[in-house]
Amino acid sequence: MISLSMENTPVLLLSLLILTFSVSASATTVQAIFTFGDSIFDAGNNHFNKNCSAQADFPPYGSSFFHRSTGRFTNGRTVVDFISQFAGIELQKPYLQAQIEVANGSTKDYPSNGINFASAGSGVLHDTNEDLVVTPLQVQLQQFQTLIGQNQIDKQLLQNSLFFFESGSNDIFNYFLPLEPPALNPDAYVEAMLTQVGQFMDQIYNLGARRIAVFSLGPVGCVPARALLPGAPVDRCFGKMDQMVKNYNQGLETVVKSIPSKYPGAVGVYGAVYEIVQLFRAIPKRYGFVNVSSACCGDGTLGGLVQCGKEGYAVCPNPDQFLFWDYFHPSEHTYHLISKILWSGSQSRIRPLNLKALANLTAV
């Protein structure tokens, strides 16, 4: 594990970090954020993919902040949005929106504040939800690689950028869908997922990423949509699912720990989102929650049987009091709390650096 303390860091590793980066005590040096992942991070890519059936481009999504649907799968901002605001960066456009604007001439260049490639419903496994025509992680990476190859992104900008990665919840949720028996046992399935993550890290580093934030999955077995799964409990979280999540998260942290030795000049951080969300669930009142089990917007058991905005849905009057906005996704209030902890929290929540420190790293 990287650490900035001499007690916990090998002298050689510490020296390499100091030679490569210095920490600024003033404003953040980061100029852009490039984001890869699923619906937790999607800023509206699926909206611009007209063949995609995984959508949140209708009311009441976006109602609490944007006052319109933006394609984000929550009632307002996501973690990426909040971190962008904390760092003083304009919110990033979805890649497909930027691509359309450049193609039709409404803008000349791709944005210089970063791009969001995340696609709701996608996974780290290429085939996850392919029937929904989502954009797999591998294709998201190809989109980024194409822009680099076409000199649409200033390579110098990459040195002053953050790279965010969060994906895997759809892969694990789908493992428990009753469509057909899985070909792999849970451990082998998680290993297959981590193999894809490792390949992603290799490629994103080779393309210029140097400040990489990897976010763990939250407790996927606690989402209200577990009510859709036969045999899943509704009075408690789905333990088998969360065990796979924990195993995957452990593998993600191992990937992050290997970054300084495997990728010279790179710094990686691991955001322990699972533990953060479990803290909210354990002491909800401290964080302003009244309900940490059901969706604010939806219908049926736990509000998890109908997507928010679809026929028959109902919406709660106080979304900020709910951990979950819809059957899969946190509320804006939850995202805000998570973002604050990831931005300036201790190593028990994000390690070895928080995002504020990562954003203050400057190439020497």
Residue 16 has a pLDDT of 40
**pLDDT classification of 29: cutoffs 50, 70, 90:** confident
pLDDT of 18 > 50? The answer is: no
Residue type, 126: H
Residue 59 has a pLDDT of 98
Question: What fold characterizes domain 33-281+327-360?
Answer: Rossmann fold (3.40.50)
Q: Which two tokens stand for residue 82?
A: 């909040």
Q: Which of 167, 242, 329, 333 is catalytic?
A: 329
176 versus 23: the higher-pLDDT residue is 176
Q: Write down the mean pLDDT value for the chain.
A: 92
Q: State pLDDT tens for residues 214-224.
A: 999 999 999 99
pLDDT of 5 > 90? The answer is: no
47 is catalytic: no
Residue 251, Cβ neighbours under 10 Å: how many?
18
Residue 303 has a pLDDT of 98
Residue 218 has a pLDDT of 98
Q: Count Cβ atoms within 10 A of the Cβ of residue 102 and give its class: 0-12 exposed, 13-18 middle, 19 or more buried.
A: middle
Q: Which two tokens stand for residue 234?
A: 């509704």
The pLDDT of 166-189, averaged and rounded, is 92
The pLDDT of 258-269, averaged and rounded, is 97
Q: Supply angle C-alpha 176, 121, 154, rounded to 5.
A: 140
Phi and psi torsions of 221, nearest 5°:
-70, -5
Q: Which of these ranges, 174-188, 271-285, 295-309, has the smallest mean pLDDT?
A: 174-188
Q: What is the longest distance spanned by two Cα atoms in the chain?
A: 61
Q: Which of 38, 39, 122, 161 is catalytic?
A: 39
pLDDT of 165 > 50? The answer is: yes
d(CA 233, CA 221): 9
Q: Which two tokens stand for residue 304?
A: 């998890």
> Minimal CA–CA distance to 364: which of 16, 3, 7?
16
pLDDT of 8 > 60? The answer is: no
Q: State pLDDT tens for residues 178-230.
A: 777 788 999 999 999 999 999 999 999 999 999 999 999 999 999 999 999 98
> Minimal CA–CA distance to 232: which of 323, 249, 281, 223?
223
Provide the β-strand partners of residue 37: 166
Q: Which of 326, 331, 333, 336 is catalytic?
A: 326
Phi and psi torsions of 245, nearest 5°:
-60, -45
**pLDDT classification of 363: cutoffs 50, 70, 90:** low
Residue 26 has a pLDDT of 40
Please, where are the H alpha helices in the chain?
11-20, 45-48, 79-86, 95-103, 137-149, 155-159, 169-175, 186-206, 239-262, 273-282, 332-344, 355-359
Residue 213 has a pLDDT of 98
53 is catalytic: no
DSSP per-residue string spanning 27-92: S----EEEEEESTTT-SSHHHH-TT------STTTTTTTTSS--S-SSSS--HHHHHHHHTT-PPP
Residue 253, Cβ neighbours under 10 Å: how many?
17
pTM greater than the 0.85 cutoff: yes
The pLDDT of 306-318, averaged and rounded, is 97
Residue 178, Cβ neighbours under 10 Å: how many?
9
The pLDDT of 123-144, averaged and rounded, is 97
pLDDT of 259 > 90? The answer is: yes
Residue 172 has a pLDDT of 97
Residue 217 has a pLDDT of 98
CA–chain centroid gap for 132, Å, is 19
Residue 3 has a pLDDT of 33
Q: State pLDDT tens for residues 32-44.
A: 999 999 999 999 9
Q: What is the three-class DSSP state of 16? A: helix
Residue 24 has a pLDDT of 38
> Minimal CA–CA distance to 36: which of 172, 140, 168?
140
Residue 249 has a pLDDT of 98
67 is catalytic: no
